[in-house]
Amino acid sequence: MTEMELLKLLGDIQGSYIQQADAFREGRLRIVKKKRPVVTALKILSTAAMLAVILGAGYLGMRDLASKAARETTGETMALQAAATDEENAETDWQRMVLRDGIRFYNGDFANSYNSYTVSEFCGVLAKWMGTEEAPKPARYTKLDMDGDGLEELVVELEGTGDLPRLVLGSFDGQIKGEIYYERQMSHLKADGVFYASGGIGNRFWARLQRSADGWTVENLEGDYTDEPDAVWTQWVSLGTVTESDATSQNDNEKVTPELLMREASDDLAFWVDGAEFAVSADLFIGDGYSLYIPKEGWVHEVIDYHGTTADRWVCADQTLEEFGLNSMLDTTNREALRKFYDQQYPTRLTVLFRPGMDDQALRDWVMEANPDWDMTQNARGALFANGATVEFFRTETGVFVCIMETPTFGTEGLGILGAMYGSFSGWPRGISGYLTGVSDRDAETTFMMNRYIEAEQRWEEYPVDCRLYRTYGYSTYIPKEGVVFRNADGEVRYGGYAASIWMLEKNVNVWFAVVKLDTTNFSEAIQWGLSTAGSDYNLYEDKSGGVSGDSVDGTQFLSISFQEKDFNGIYAVIRNYPNAETDNLSAYVKIMADQFQAE
Amino acid sequence: MEDEQILDLYFSRSEQAIGETAAKYGHYCHSIAFHVLENQEDAEECVSDTWYSTWNAIPPKRPAPFSAFLGRITRNLSIDRWRRTRAFKRGGGQMTLALEELAECVSGTGSLENDIIRRETLAAVERFLGQLSVAERNVFLCRYWYLESTQEIAEHSGFSQTKIRTMLHRLRGRLDTYLEKEGLR
Question: What does the pLDDT look like over A573-588, one tens digit per residue?
Answer: 999 999 988 888 888 8
Q: Which residue type is seen at A305?
A: D
Please count the other Cβ atoms lying within 10 Å of the Cβ belonging to residue A243.
9
Inspect the interface and report whether the beta carbons of B103 and A27 lie closer than 8 Å: no
Of 3.40.50.12780, 1.10.10.10, 3.40.50.700, 3.40.1000.10, the CATH number of A445-599 is: 3.40.1000.10
Residue A7 has its nearest CB partner, among B63, B71, B102, at B102
CA dihedral B2, B7, B11, B13 (to 10 degrees): 80
Check A19 against B103: CB less than 8 A apart: no
**pLDDT of A508 strictly over 80:** yes
Please report residues of A whose CB lies closer than 8 A to that of B184: 1
* Residues of chain A contacting residue B67, judged by C-beta atoms under 8 Å apart: 15, 18-19, 22
Q: What is the pLDDT at residue A535?
A: 87
Q: What is the DSSP annotation of B79-148? A: HHHHHHHGGG--S-HHHHHHHHHHGGGS-S-S-S-SHHHHHHHHHHHHHHHHHS-HHHHHHHHHHHTS--
Q: pLDDT grade, residue A85 (50/70/90)?
A: very low
How large a percentage of chain A has pLDDT more than 90? Answer: 12
Subunit contact A10:B138, Cβ cutoff 8 A: no
- The closest of A416, A419, A476 to A445, measured between CA atoms, is A476
CATH 1.10.1740.10 placement within chain B? 3-88
What b-and-e string marks burial along A441-465, b requiring 16 or more CB atoms within 10 Å of the CB?
ebbbbeebebeeeeeeeeeeeeeeb
Which residues of chain A does B68 touch, with a Cβ-Cβ cutoff of 8 Å?
A: 15-16, 18-19
With a cut of 90, say whether residue B21 has pLDDT above it: yes
- For residue A331, what are the contacts with CB-CB under 8 A and spacing of at least 6? A83, A325
> Quick check: A298 pLDDT over 70?
yes
Distance from CA of residue A223 to its chain's centroid?
31
Q: Do A4 and B83 touch (CB under 8 A)?
A: yes
Residue bearing the bigger pLDDT, A78 or B46: B46
Q: Looking at this predicted complex, what is its ipTM?
A: 0.86
B86 touches chain A (CB under 8 A): no
Q: Do B145 and A13 touch (CB under 8 A)?
A: yes
A interface with B, Cβ–Cβ < 8 A, is: 1-22, 24-27, 29-30, 39, 381, 395-398, 444-445
Please work out, in degrees rounded to the nearest 5, the angle formed at the alpha carbon of residue A412 by the alpha carbons of A410 and A416: 150
Nearest CA in chain B to A7: B144
Nearest CB among A7, A26, A444 relative to B144 is that of A7
Averaged pLDDT score across all residues of chain A? 72
Q: Quick check: A17 and B129 CB within 8 A? A: yes
The reported pLDDT for the residue numbered A317 is 64
Mean pLDDT (whole number) for A482-491: 79
Q: In the predicted model, what is the mean pLDDT of residues A248-260?
A: 54
Query: Which of A1, A24, A397 comes nearest B106 by C-beta?
Result: A1
pLDDT tens-digit profile of A208-231? 999 887 789 888 888 888 878 777
Q: What is the pLDDT of residues B78-119, one digit of tens each?
A: 988 888 777 555 445 788 888 888 888 887 776 666 677 788
- Indicate yes or no: CB of B79 within 8 angstroms of CB of A8: yes
Q: With 60 as the cut, is the pLDDT of residue A80 above it?
A: no
Amino acid sitting at position B119? R
A:B CB pairs within 8 Å:
123
Q: Where are the alpha helices (DSSP H) in A380-518?
A: 412-423
Put simply, the answer to whether A395 touches B158 (Cβ < 8 Å) is: yes
Residues of B in contact with A27 (CB under 8 A): 156
Task: Kindly tell me if the per-residue pLDDT of A70 is higher than 50.
Answer: no
CA distance linking residue A552 with residue A544, whole number of Å: 19
Q: How many helices (H) and strands (E) does chain A have?
A: 13, 33
Pick the most confident of A67-81, A106-120, B21-35: B21-35
| Residue to test with chain B: of A3, A16, A19, A393, most B Cβ within 10 A | A3
The answer to whether the CB atoms of B99 and A26 lie below 8 A apart is no
Q: Please judge whether A3 and B83 are an interchain contact, meaning their C-beta atoms are less than 8 angstroms apart.
A: no
Give the integer Cα–Cα distance in Å for A267 and A279.
Answer: 10
Cβ-nearest to B134 among A9, A10, A20: A20
B112/A contact by beta carbon, under 8 A = yes
The residues pairing with B40 across neighbouring beta strands, listed in sequence order, are none
Domain boundaries, chain A: 48-57+242-427, 96-234, 445-599
CB neighbour list of residue B175: distance below 8 Å, 6 or more residues apart = B105, B125, B128
Q: How far apart are CA A364 and CA A389, in angstroms?
A: 14
**Mutation for testing the A interface, residue in B29, B66, B156, B164 having most A CBs under 10 Å:** B156
CB neighbours of A96 closer than 8 A, spacing ≥ 6? A102, A345
Q: Which fold has domain B3-88?
A: Rna Polymerase Sigma Factor; Chain: A (1.10.1740)
CA distance A62 to chain B (A): 31
CA distance B97 to A256: 41
pLDDT of residue A390: 84
Residue B23 CB neighbours (<10 A) = 11
Residues of B in contact with A7 (CB under 8 A): 79, 98-99, 102, 144
Distance of residue B182 Cα from the nearest chain A Cα, in angstroms: 13
Residue A223 buriedness (CB in 10 A; 0-12 / 13-18 / 19+): exposed
Per CB-CB distance under 8 Å, the chain A contacts of B112 are 1, 5, 9
Contact status of B28 with chain A (Cβ, < 8 Å): yes
pLDDT at residue A491 tops 80: no
Residue A21 is nearest to which of B100, B141, B158, comparing CB atoms? B141
Distance of residue B156 Cα from the nearest chain A Cα, in angstroms: 6
Which fold would CATH assign to domain B93-182?
Arc Repressor Mutant, subunit A (1.10.10)
Which of A9, A22, A426 is the best substitution to test chain B (most B C-beta atoms within 10 A)?
A: A22
